Structure 1
Amino acid sequence: MSTPPQAPELALAGDPTPDVPAGLGRLGPVLGAANLSLLLPYNAAGTLVQALLEQWDEHTKLSHYAILTTSGAVAAMVANIGFGVLSDRTRSRWGRRNPWILGGSLGTAIAGCALSFTHSFPVLVLLWIAMQIGLNAVIGPLAALLPDRVAQRNLGRASAWIGIGSLLALTIGGAGAGLLVAAPAAGLRWIFWLMPLGGLLIWLAAPDRSSAALAREPFTVRKLLQTALPPRDADYLWALLGRLLTGLGLNLVLVYQLYILTDYLNLSTSHAGSVIAVAGALTAVTAGIGIATAGPLSDRLGRRKIFVVSAAAAAAVSVLPLVIVPSLGAFFTFVVVAGLGYGCYVAVDQVVMAEVLPDGEHRAKDLGILNIANTMPQVLAPVIAVAVVPGLGYRPLLAISIVLAAAGGLCMLPIRRVT
């Protein structure tokens, strides 16, 4: 009988940094596959919910989507930090991270599936909030697996595997949403059940050692609130701001690509769905090239910032054609250039986030706060869109995205702990 794989050893006193293995082993592919399964449904859900709101009422789709995403993102930010704190404090025979990843993936699937059964906007908002809470029970602990279990010299390769999974989740999710855009309720009903498969994969193929013997500080509400605050560390805060601005710049285009195609480029909804599906395939190719190149190369060179700064610059440049000449050609130029930049970004961004962590005791919480920079754009992008688009159209919105992405790259330059 074969014995189950053993998880990396955890230190049981002092700094809870794990004694990570010298090599990456199969953890990299497992993290890539798990990220694909866990993130694909969410990446499809945004477009599917937009299509659902458009079916309900063409005239309220922008305002309703802004309410939906803002409410969900606020819940996600609180949940990300909260579950990060809980994960850091979890003491169980199954470790600190895996129980939350598995439980959160199941809860997200239930809430996500339920989205397809309602015809009430208030109920839709409540279910979206529940889905976001479940998703962020997964994201914080999942992000902590990288610094927990991977040696620093392998961070780039491990991050590349995560980037490949995230990229495939984005592109396949986008392509699937494009194909299902005419029947959004059917897509929402089934696609979320991919998430528990990712949770099970982590549980079975990347088991954690028992954390029952780890010391834990006594719990008080005051201590919990203090722990939930971001660390007072300049490098950490610059990384947080840079990630926020770059993500917001990209979100202003990606979140509204369906409406940009239908309202800015005047395509029909069915034609726009086909374009989104093709764009997903193109992004998979170009971003895959960026990931395969940037992750291993950053390990070899021992340099991270140049890749993140270059990726932010590519994101900014990619939007220019859409501002100057609104056309399908400009849109696909954006897809190709932004895809390359996105690939470089996701291959190295998580390494930067891991390297700016001030200590090993509160990794999931500190990464949860950094993940606010992934969630906050979901709050801000709809607010900016509702303020700009009705009066000025989509061109100024795209111009704002260029400025934000470029500013995000510049925020990486002052960071000292990352070369």
Structure 2
Amino acid sequence: MNPNVIKTPFPRLIAGISIGSFGYNLALITPLAFLLTVKLAMLDPANVTKNFSIIGLTTGIIGILSQYMAGVISDRTTWKLGRRRPWMLIGSIGGAAALYGVGAAKSFTMVLLFWALAKLLLSFMSTAITALIPDQVPENKRGTASGIYGLVSPLAIMIGINLMFILNSWAIEKKFLLLGMICVVSAIITSLLIKEGKVEYQQERGKNDSLTFGEKMSRIYPSPRKYPYFTYGVLTRFFMGIAYTAASFTSVYYLERFHVSQQDLAGIVSTSMNITIPILAVASIIGGGLSDKFGRQKPFVFLAAAVTAIGILGYGFAPSIGFSYVCGSVISLGFGMFLAVDIALMSRVLPHPEDAAKDMESSTLPMILEDRLPTRQQVKLLRQEAIHYSLEYWLSLEY
């Protein structure tokens, strides 16, 4: 934790992080799980899968780059309001406006452009919220914080899908606007709960002109030879993220595999979420507490990877919608175990507290970790977490 950061009492801090994360996930993931599919089906029913894939690839790349950029900017912000709170507000307001643009768009091109803009702006909100954990959460409570943080995302998705089902008769642009407004309100509440003041950015790496080419490159991504455990962690997140994607875009899955109608889609996706999300939430909360208690992550990683793989295989061969619910539950159980230790693990291996936002987001892409070499005890700890990490990635991510 950066010693210059004003600390928020833990219960208040967790409440603020949870509320902000809830609004972000409600605004960004609910459309991915349902609304975007419906919007694309309205514009071009014959090319839903192709258009959804284009959006996923394009905005996925934008999301990775924007999260990294948002982290760098947030770390170097020295405003009186703090370095995290301003970007929560800016990101949520701009993202809400872009979401409304998605709902009101009249062509696939406009949907793609507005969704990319929403992804870009909401990355600033997400990055700022995530960075509060290494900023202000004590290390012995990060497992608990990670478990609660992991719970909020699926809870927001479940509530968002059910809300869309209840408001099924609303015009789609109104649904996007509602999600954006909830996101803005959550960012405001979080900003009021979190204590933060002006923080001076501390750069301790020397002058750029004195660095070798390799040292300059290590500011973009740490040397795999010098920091192999971090690379294992990045690979773990990457592969686990790909794995969980199988359970993320259920609306497209049901639309294409079981040929359900648009009218029935909301109810089926809502039922799936109501079954799988509580399982993920319980696994995340219990796993986070156990991680803090035993101080280990590797067993959770191994088990999470195996369980998730079983669920994905079941999804691929599911003969019915009912069986797919079971497979989704298995995936959620495995992914919940991973979420329980994900943030706690990455928080531990951050080398530079002053770069917390950048480094946390860089773990989904190349990160900037050029700290001193770890001690023997740290290597042992990092080995546990890296092996753990390298077995899975939480889809992504983002989320």
Fold conserved (TM > 0.5)? yes
Specify the alignment match of 2:382 in structure 1.
none
Maintained 8 Å contact 2:7/2:196: no
**TM-score, normalised with respect to structure 2:** 0.83
Alignment size in residue pairs: 363
Does 1:191 find its partner at 2:211? no
Q: Distance in 1 between matches of 2:220 and 2:161?
A: 34
Specify the alignment match of 2:397 in structure 1.
none
Specify the alignment match of 1:101 in structure 2.
88
Does 1:58 find its partner at 2:45? yes
Q: Distance in 2 between matches of 1:410 and 1:206?
A: 30
The superposition leaves residues 330-376 of structure 1 with CA deviations (integer Å, 9 ceiling, x where unpaired) of 21111221222222222211111112223323221111212349xxx
In structure 1, stretches of 5+ residues that fail to align are 1-8, 13-17, 374-407, 414-419
Cα displacement (A) at 1:72? 1.7
Maintained 8 Å contact 2:240/2:391: no
Cα displacement (A) at 1:267? 2.5
Q: Distance in 1 between matches of 2:272 and 2:123?
A: 27
The superposition leaves residues 263-317 of structure 1 with CA deviations (integer Å, 9 ceiling, x where unpaired) of 2123223223211101111123212221221111110111122223322222111
In structure 2, stretches of 5+ residues that fail to align are 367-386, 393-399
Large movers: runs of 4+ above 6 Å: 217-223
Specify the alignment match of 1:400 in structure 2.
none
Structure 2 vs 1, CA of residues 252 and 221 (structure 1 numbering), >3 Å: closer, same or farther? farther
Of residues 156, 171, 175, the one that matches 2:143 is 156
Q: Distance in 1 between matches of 2:110 and 2:178?
A: 19
**Counterparts of 1:208-247 in structure 2 under 5 Å?**
208-211=196-199, 213-215=200-202, 229-232=220-223, 233-247=227-241
**Counterparts of 1:16-415 in structure 2 under 5 Å?**
18=5, 24-46=10-32, 47-178=34-165, 183-211=171-199, 213-215=200-202, 229-232=220-223, 233-255=227-249, 257-372=250-365, 411-412=390-391
Cα displacement (A) at 1:122? 1.7
Cα displacement (A) at 1:20? 5.7
Maintained 8 Å contact 2:30/2:161: yes
Structure 2 vs 1, CA of residues 119 and 220 (structure 1 numbering), >3 Å: closer, same or farther? farther
Q: Distance in 1 between matches of 2:175 and 2:209?
A: 41
Structure 2 vs 1, CA of residues 309 and 222 (structure 1 numbering), >3 Å: closer, same or farther? farther
Maintained 8 Å contact 1:171/1:281: yes
The superposition leaves residues 373-395 of structure 1 with CA deviations (integer Å, 9 ceiling, x where unpaired) of 9xxxxxxxxxxxxxxxxxxxxxx
Pairwise CA RMSD: 2.8
Question: Percent of pairs identical after alignment?
Answer: 23
SS in structure 1 opposite 2:353? coil
Does 1:11 find its partner at 2:3? yes
**TM-score, normalised with respect to structure 1:** 0.79
Q: Distance in 2 between matches of 1:370 and 1:332?
A: 31
